[in-house]
A and B are shown apart, each in its own frame.
Chain A
Amino acid sequence: MTMSSTSLATGLRRALSGAGAAGPGRPPLQTRNTRPSRGAATMLALVAPSVVLLVLINAYPLVVAASQSLHKGSLIITGQFTGLENYTDVLTRPAFWKAAWFTVVFTLVGVFGSWLVGLGLALLLRTKIPAGGFFKVVLMLPWVVPIVVSSTAWNWLVATPDSPVPRLARSLGLGDLLFLADPTLAAITVCVFKIWVSFPFMMLMTSAALASVDHNVYEAADMDGATKWQTFTRITLPMIRRSTYISWILMTIFCVNDFPTIYLLTGGGPVNATSSLVVLAYRTVFQDFQTGPGVAIAFLMTLALVVISTVLYRQIRKGETA
């Protein structure tokens, strides 16, 4: 039985529609549940515990936060109802827009940087390499190490002029680089730190996705004489598309919400150069003790995140209709 190019195209189309090698996992849009009554009750029971937890741990604080952003109180006292005053106050602060811009930069660099590194490593590790198993474990460490510990190690490496990395930079003729004190360099350092922390997650997601791709498709591509690059761009990437999009959305959420990675390394400085929106929200609530405006900042950030996730999510679903 030979795999012709037509069956290759069929396989690819099936994969793009979200099917596994053996057939579509997601039910096609036309069919209804084959057993509606039995299925519905069971489905409800299956999903109930997670809904309860979701409401308790995620929805309840959301409601409380919404209320806090509409009042002028503290963490202990609800305070006076002020309507949208906190929001108008916050939106007219230049620090807010500066933080918004940095959040965008940080997220884009974090998501795509970690994805590219993770993808490259996942591809490399799928081939036969001596001690491949060892590398797979050891390369997870940046994500596994507690952030308090890794930020300490990074600080030790770059903070003072006598730290190893600035010394190396001087010996390479790059001059005195202030990795955490210069606003631009601090932003770059924070982004690189985020990529370092995140690439193992992307590597893991991509590996799992690549593992579920049927290797028959690759063999067929071989037979058709596809080059490695063609195989990669026209077959591999599209076949792991859904998992890729999902990992992008997840990493976007992680980056936008990431407080410790930035705060532990730079505290949001120098002079707000590395304050993302979540760092600004934290500082406003817990250092300036302005609960209402601080939570309003967090809420606006959440809103933007929700809009972006929804749009991206709809894109994924659109791309799945066969």
Chain B
Amino acid sequence: MNRRAFLGIAAAAASAPALAACTVSGSSNSSGGASDPIKFWDQPWGSPAYNDLAKKVTDGYQPPAGTGKASYQVIPWNNFYQTYASAIASGTGPAVSTGGGFQPFQFAAQGAIAYADDLLETWKKDGFYDDFLPGLLDANKTDNGYAGVPWQLDARILWVNQKLLEKAGVEAPTDFDSLLAAGRALKKIGVFGFGTGTGAGNNLGSHTMVAMMIMNGGGLFDPDGKPDCVTDRNIESMDFIRQLAREGIIDPACISYTTDNLNAQWSSGKVATGFHTAGLQSQAAAVKDDLVVNSPLAGPHGDKAALHFVNSVMMYAKTPSQQASEAFLTYYLKNIHQYWDAALINGVPVLKSITASDAFTKNPAQVKIVKEYTPISTTYAARGAKLTAGLAAVDGGQALTQFAQTMLQGKTDSKAALTTLQSGIEEAVK
């Protein structure tokens, strides 16, 4: 027996038990009846411990007679839209899922969503409807119905590192001018006064730009939902950003920062002020005791507004039973308080009962966010416009990312950049 034959046999011998030992097939094929399990797909909204808890919650679902139990699956963030789209296209998608902020609208526009109108009617009758913070349920309203039900808010909060502010001898900023003054003082001690990032996979920078526009009464769309970026208020906000960039208050390298790079800059005390998610304290754990939620800034004309994204749970048209989907969704939303009880999630809750709970009120940052930011927060559809499927293309699309990067470079005229952004957005929502 020559060497090659031996190697071949050894390899075959090694792989046969390896493949046999693995489970070769994942999900079992459904028989297509109403008693099939309700597939629930979720994302890593926190650490893996969050997903473990979510699985427990899902497993705890007691289905009404004749319908199946729920099964839980985690979908990684990487390329998640592809995963959902390919599953739906091949009929192997979930019955219920969480997902991206504009995902309900995207799939609704493609006919894949089961609208939640009936469900909301049921909740109005049994009172659960009133547990939602005001105005949030309507965020999912499309022309054909409610595309999803909110379960958490992804807020964009202005954080400050109290210790560094004291070291620089400045007060917490309250408006654009004091933010600029704070930035100048922080620069003197070698710290950046406006932390953000537009690198691979990081859309905090894009969101920051939009937040700055919204804060000044501007935004991306007009009240009818048409792209309207080249307004005086937007130009004013963007001129301000350009000034921050030019004075070196914004780190020039931040154009390429991933969220991890940005978190590291917060952790190492290189950044003292900036917009971030509600969970910055856990993401920049090294300085978590120094981080404070800053009260929302007042715009140059006295406006007070903030940006947030509504994350929703959505039901899909292809389900073993719509009744089962709705039953599961009701159960799930009544149990999400467990995530906040265990402090495993960073999003802002949508239910009044959670915001009043003991576990929640113990966290001063979260309390402040719900008190000061949520009431004045709006989505991209600021100025009254409705949310649509095209917004997904705006949010993740190249036009907004490049606009943010251009502004952070500090070299381009604001009006010109906004004009480019507008044509990009018009393309996206066509």
- Touching chains A and B, CB distance < 8 Å: yes
**A binding-site residues for B, Cβ under 8 Å:** 74-77, 95, 155, 159-162, 176, 178-181, 186, 263-272, 283-284, 286-290
- Cα A186 to Cα B200 in complex, Å, equals 12
Cβ-defined contact, A155 with B402, below 8 A: no
29 A-B pairs whose Cβ atoms sit less than 8 Å apart in the complex? A74-B85, A75-B82, A76-B85, A76-B88, A76-B107, A77-B110, A77-B111, A95-B398, A155-B258, A160-B257, A160-B261, A161-B251, A162-B270, A181-B253, A181-B254, A186-B256, A263-B200, A267-B200, A267-B202, A269-B198, A269-B199, A269-B256, A269-B401, A270-B256, A271-B405, A286-B81, A287-B393, A287-B398, A288-B396
Cβ-defined contact, A159 with B393, below 8 A: no
- Cα A313 to Cα B397 in complex, Å, equals 38
Q: Is B89's beta carbon under 8 Å from chain A?
A: yes
- Cα A179 to Cα B399 in complex, Å, equals 23
Q: Is B409's beta carbon under 8 Å from chain A?
A: yes
Q: How far is the CB of A140 from chain B (nearest CB, A)?
A: 19
For B82, what are the chain A residues with a Cβ–Cβ distance below 8 Å? 75, 286
The chain B residue sitting closest to A93, CB to CB, is: B427
Q: How far is the CB of B283 from chain A (nearest CB, A)?
A: 16
- Given A76-B89, A267-B200, check contact A159 B402 (CB 8 Å): no
7 new A-B pairs (CB below 8 Å) besides A95-B398, A289-B393?
A76-B112, A77-B111, A270-B405, A284-B398, A287-B393, A288-B397, A288-B428
- Cα A176 to Cα B248 in complex, Å, equals 13
Q: How far is the CB of B81 from chain A (nearest CB, A)?
A: 6
For A159, what are the chain B residues with a Cβ–Cβ distance below 8 Å? 199, 253, 256-258, 261
The 6 closest A-B pairs by CB, nearest first: A267-B200, A180-B256, A75-B85, A181-B255, A181-B256, A288-B397
Interface of B is mostly: helix
Partner of A161, one of B106, B199, B253, B255: B253
- Cα A73 to Cα B425 in complex, Å, equals 18
Q: Is B201's beta carbon under 8 Å from chain A?
A: yes
Q: Is B335's beta carbon under 8 Å from chain A?
A: no
- Given A74-B85, A74-B110, A288-B397, check contact A270 B255 (CB 8 Å): yes
- Given A186-B256, A287-B396, A288-B398, check contact A162 B261 (CB 8 Å): no
The chain A residue sitting closest to B88, CB to CB, is: A76
For B427, what are the chain A residues with a Cβ–Cβ distance below 8 Å? 288, 290
For A162, what are the chain B residues with a Cβ–Cβ distance below 8 Å? 268, 270
The chain B residue sitting closest to A283, CB to CB, is: B398
Q: Is B243's beta carbon under 8 Å from chain A?
A: no
Cβ-defined contact, A272 with B199, below 8 A: no
Q: How far is the CB of B87 from chain A (nearest CB, A)?
A: 10
